[in-house]
Amino acid sequence: MIITRFKEDFYNVVRKTHVLMITSNDVDSLCTTAILSHLFTCDDVMFTVVPVDGYEELNDALRARQDYTSSIVLINCAVTCPILEILNVPPNSTVFVVDSRRPLNHFNVFEANQIRILVNEAERSSLGIPNLDDVIAKDEDSESDDDDDEYSEGSNDGGGRRNIIDRVTRRAVRKENKRLWESQKNKILWQYYEYNWHSTSTAVQMLELAAELDRASAELMWYAAIGVSSQYTDRLIPIEGYTDTCVTRMKPFITKFSPKNAAKSDDLLRISFGKELPLALYTHWNLYNAMAVNEYFACKTKNWTQKGEKNMKELLAKMGITLVETSRKFESIESKQKKELIEILDKEMGIGFASFTVHLGYSGQVNAADIARAAALRIESPHNVEPMDRFQAALRIIRAAISGPKDQQVILVDAFERSYQKMLKMIWHLVGTAINQSEIVSTGAFYLMSSQRAISAEVAESRHFLLNFTHFLLKAFACSKRGRSGKPLIVTFPLPQSEKQPDGWHVVTGIMPLATAFEDNTFKSIIGRAFERAAKDQQNMQLSFDSFDNSIITMRATDRARFFDKLQSILETSGI
Amino acid sequence: MDAHEGIADAAIRLVQELKHNPNIIPPYDATLMRQCIDTLNRLYDQNARSLMDPTGDPSISPEQITTQREQRTAAIIYIWRCTTAYIHERACRIRSLRWRFGGILPISIRNNLSEAEIEFFNSYSSALADFQSSLGESGVNLMANTEPPKHLFVQVRVKEDYGEFETNDGNVVILNKNSLHSLPRQDCEMLIRRGILEIANP
């Protein structure tokens, strides 16, 4: 069942019971959990948080609580699959689903007793949910039983020959109707499930709930800002979708919590919203490095080739930026000069990115997108670290940006400089080698990049890394020769062996072609659906759909060839 | 007895044993204690004998005998002080155990105590319980809120599987390893002390 009144139908109901929040391990869910925890703490509601990585852990968490009554809140997990069928939902509990993944599974939508899906009123009509009668069969068993009885009685009668014929034709008609209905149903469902995409960040939705309860604060707005930024930095929504959410949904909070002429004070938390460069981490790095690993500049100068560095310097000269400026730490450049540099680069990139920046007193400022990136890397991998440890570590990063003490700042420096910059360089390096060594093969319906080099566990299992790498690679691949923007790209990486992960498994993901025109400000993708279809009817293939994103799957190395053959035929028939 | 060994060595070892393990209760050292008691008895007997029989050994002058006696008395007092310090210090630690673990001791600690000590622990527990219930109308739990709390609820992370836990208002929570809970502070304070829960960053 879909509910749209968050306060009456969700918050006021769950606060009366013990609340179990099961949250997927990504930054948006983390921010959502942080906002909800804050609300529950204000109201003295008892709650439990269990972070999970995939369906298996989600099921374990539910199994342990089989005999107890509580409200279960699923945050960004499992709305796309029939929850009651595949999960062990405790029979006495109600499940509330807060999720940005779309489409919603129709069984969840039509289940009236145990499942409540929270959807914004405005979005509801655009979901295109099929009619109940069109997709779920009515219970007709009893009717046909009656019919059989009548039939046997009728045959005893002797004179009922006509009746019998009548009945036979009626049954044939009904069968035919049923067949028609069935094929119609399949068609409707096919259309409904064809694409997967992400809707508004759940953290923003929860911020709106907080506002409805009169509990919105600058701190909660910061969480929501990170939530929506993470959707952009994780490549779940395009820049248009991000800007749209910021402008329409975050607007009231921006005017409330970041007034233009806010007073400066030592311990005052200010959040400002304004133009920002889409360069990752440049304020905590030097410009040259940040530009070299950036998708836009790397593709423009092709800096993975031998001529690359020369191109890069030429570009800098054209823009009028000196080498000294780019090699200095950005923070230490004079503020006037900084503004000039930002203006030049903004003009050059022309992406039109705006972002949230937090200022705490007079100390440094941190950008929400950078925090979202650093937290994403920390929370999503590696999987052999307990989910709870990763959850708390990422939470510390998010909180460090808005808390004063110096030792908290150390956490940020560590997250930015030790981990994230390393990962950016690694992505760039991997893209460079893949292009230089022509590792991408064109296989008819899609491009395939099947890496044999093992990469460190710290990044291999992270969705943030996989999607950023895949997008970067496709862009780099397309810009090195014309006519390469019409096919999707599928990427596989070997997973490092660990306790939970037996040897010889690969992670597979894919993205839509570069030239796809996306509607409704979302990255609508058919890849996940194609993966599901390719895996169907293949009992002897060892693969797992444990991740909540169906476009990220793991499989045995030996099954890859067969899987790609199947995928090939599926993508050919669907014609993109 | 070894020539190099001092008369109070066993007593000193007893005290050292506690000093070297400041945070735990080492097993009650019955052998050393026995040795100390034996030494005390022997010294006392010798003193008593020399007093009973003033002209015992003609080769030693009376002044020497007096000096010997004083030396022995000093040794007796010294050993006696060491042993009482040992017992007293252990008693202090046992008392602090009551505040840390409540009325029931973990078996690993219980094994380290002597019978008399266990008896002492039990009587201390019941004395504390009597005292608590005598305060006010329905008694006061002195263990709760040893620091002034800022919130009624506290966020805790479970460090080891505990299973069902019922709070004062009748809600049942399952405490499984690696989950985060927000619970009433007074209910879970005891579990925090026992190390099953850990306060998560606020």
Output the CA–CA distances (angstroms, integers) from residue B80 to A523, B12, B42, B46, in the order listed: 84, 11, 13, 16
User: Whole-angstrom Cα distance, residue B57 to residue A429?
Assistant: 97
Output the CA–CA distances (angstroms, integers) from residue A80 to A110, A113, A442, A544, B145, in the order listed: 13, 18, 31, 16, 46
Question: In sequence order, what are the beta bridge partners of A329?
Answer: A286
* Contact check, Cβ <8 Å, A45/B151: no
Sheet holding A552-556, edge to edge: A440-442, A447-450, A489-494, A505-511, A552-556, A543-544
Q: For residue A399, what pLDDT is reported?
A: 87
pLDDT at A149 over 50: no
Pairing of strands B163-166, B172-175: antiparallel
> What number is the ipTM of this complex?
0.79
Q: For residue A206, what pLDDT is reported?
A: 94
Structural domain of residue A484, as residue ranges? 438-574
- Name the helix (H) or strand (E) containing B174: strand B172-175
CB distance A508 to A552 below 8 Å: yes
Q: What is the mean pLDDT of chain A?
A: 86
Q: Measure CA A291 to chain center.
A: 26
- Name the helix (H) or strand (E) containing A556: strand A552-556
Nearest to A117 by CA among A56, A65, A64, A72: A72
* Contact check, Cβ <8 Å, A45/B176: no
> Residues of B29-43 as b/e, b for ≥16 C-beta within 10 angstroms?
beebbebbeebbeeb
pLDDT band at A159 (very low <50, low <70, confident <90, very high): low
Q: Which of A29, A46, A66, A389 to mutate to test the interface with B (most CBs of B within 10 A)?
A: A46
Q: For residue A359, what pLDDT is reported?
A: 82
Q: Where are the alpha helices (DSSP H) in A215-322?
A: 218-233, 239-244, 251-257, 287-292, 295-301, 308-319
Name every residue whose Cβ is closer than 8 Å to that of residue A394 and which is 6 or more positions away in sequence.
A27, A30, A375, A376, A378, A379
- Three-point CA angle B128, B133, B138, nearest 5°: 155
Asked if the structure places residue A191 within a domain, the reply is yes
Residues of A with CB under 8 A from a CB of B: 18, 37, 40-41, 44-50, 61, 64-65, 68, 386-389, 391-392, 395-396, 399
Q: What percent of chain A has pLDDT over 90?
A: 32
pLDDT in tens, chain B (202 residues): 444 568 888 888 888 888 888 888 888 888 889 999 999 999 999 888 888 876 666 777 778 888 888 989 999 999 999 999 999 999 999 888 888 777 778 888 888 888 899 999 999 989 988 888 888 777 777 776 667 777 888 889 998 888 888 888 888 888 888 889 988 888 888 888 788 888 886 5
Query: In the predicted model, what is the mean pLDDT of residues A111-136?
Result: 86
User: Whole-angstrom Cα distance, residue B186 to residue B146?
Assistant: 10
Output the CA–CA distances (angstroms, integers) from residue B11 to A79, B38, B83, B115, in the order listed: 71, 11, 6, 21
Task: Write the residue in A41, A49, A396 that is nearest to B180 by C-beta.
Answer: A49
Name every residue whose Cβ is closer than 8 Å to that of residue A94 and which is 6 or more positions away in sequence.
A13, A71, A72, A114, A115, A116
- Three-point CA angle A54, A59, A64, nearest 5°: 135
* Contact check, Cβ <8 Å, A37/B182: yes
Count the neighbouring beta carbons within 10 Å of the beta carbon of residue A351. 12
Q: How many domains does chain A have?
A: 2
Q: Kindly report whether the peptide bond that precedes residue A103 is cis, defined as omega within 30 degrees of 0.
A: yes
Query: In the predicted model, what is the mean pLDDT of residues A475-501?
Result: 85
Residue located via tokens 């050393």: B32
Asked if the structure places residue A54 within a domain, the reply is yes
Q: Which of B157, B164, B179 to mutate to test the interface with A (most CBs of A within 10 A)?
A: B179
Query: In the predicted model, what is the mean pLDDT of residues A50-55?
Result: 91
Q: Measure CA A261 to chain center.
A: 36
pLDDT band at A480 (very low <50, low <70, confident <90, very high): confident
Q: Which of A183, A216, A249 is the last residue of a domain?
A: A216
Kindly report the CATH number assigned to the domain that includes residue A506. Answer: 3.10.310
Tokens of residue A461, six digits? 């299992």
Tokens of residue B197, six digits? 């829960």
**How many interface pairs between A and B have CB atoms less than 8 angstroms apart?**
58
Nearest to B191 by CA among B172, B168, B175: B175
* Contact check, Cβ <8 Å, B181/A49: yes
pLDDT band at A265 (very low <50, low <70, confident <90, very high): low
pLDDT at A235 over 50: yes
Nearest to B184 by CA among A18, A67, A70: A18
* Contact check, Cβ <8 Å, A44/B201: no
Asked if the structure places residue A256 within a domain, the reply is no
pLDDT band at A50 (very low <50, low <70, confident <90, very high): very high
Asked if the structure places residue A266 within a domain, the reply is no
Output the CA–CA distances (angstroms, integers) from residue A396 to A122, A385, A407, B50, B202, in the order listed: 34, 16, 11, 76, 10
* Contact check, Cβ <8 Å, B174/A65: yes
Task: For residue B184, list chain A residues with Cβ-Cβ distance below 8 A.
Answer: 46
**Over the Cα atoms of chain B, what is R_g?**
26
Asked if the structure places residue A270 within a domain, the reply is no
Q: Where are the alpha helices (DSSP H) in A262-405?
A: 287-292, 295-301, 308-319, 323-327, 335-349, 368-380, 387-400
Q: For residue A145, what pLDDT is reported?
A: 45
Q: What is the SS3 assignment for A522? A: coil
Please report, as a single letter, which amino acid is at residue A393.
Answer: A
Q: Which of A199, A216, A233 is the last residue of a domain?
A: A216
Pairing of strands B153-158, B180-184: antiparallel
Write out the E strands in A27-92: 47-52, 71-75
B177-201 pLDDT tens trace: 888 998 888 888 888 878 888 888 6
Residue in chain B closest to A62 (alpha carbons) equals B174
Write out the E strands in A119-195: none
Q: Provide DSSP, B20-66.
A: H-TTS-PPP-HHHHHHHHHHHHHHHHHHHHHHH-TTS-TTS-HHHHH
Residue in chain A closest to B169 (alpha carbons) equals A46
Q: For residue B202, what pLDDT is reported?
A: 53
pLDDT at A563 over 80: yes
pLDDT at A160 over 80: no
Asked if the structure places residue A233 within a domain, the reply is no
How far away is chain A from the Cα of B163, in angstroms, using its nearest Cα?
9
Task: Write the residue in A18, A45, A392 that is nearest to B200 by C-beta.
Answer: A392
Q: Which of A159, A188, A216 is the last residue of a domain?
A: A216
Q: What sign results for the dihedral spanned by CA atoms B176, B177, B182, B187? A: positive
A398-448 pLDDT tens trace: 888 887 666 677 888 888 888 899 899 999 999 999 999 888 998 888 899
Kindly report the backbone phi and psi dihedral angles of residue A360, in degrees, each rounded to the nearest multiple of 5, phi listed first: -120, 105
Nearest to A216 by CA among A245, A246, A258: A258
Q: For residue A557, what pLDDT is reported?
A: 86
* Contact check, Cβ <8 Å, A399/B171: no
Asked if the structure places residue A406 within a domain, the reply is no
pLDDT band at A174 (very low <50, low <70, confident <90, very high): very high
Q: For residue B4, what pLDDT is reported?
A: 57
Asked if the structure places residue A299 within a domain, the reply is no
Tokens of residue A35, six digits? 């906002």
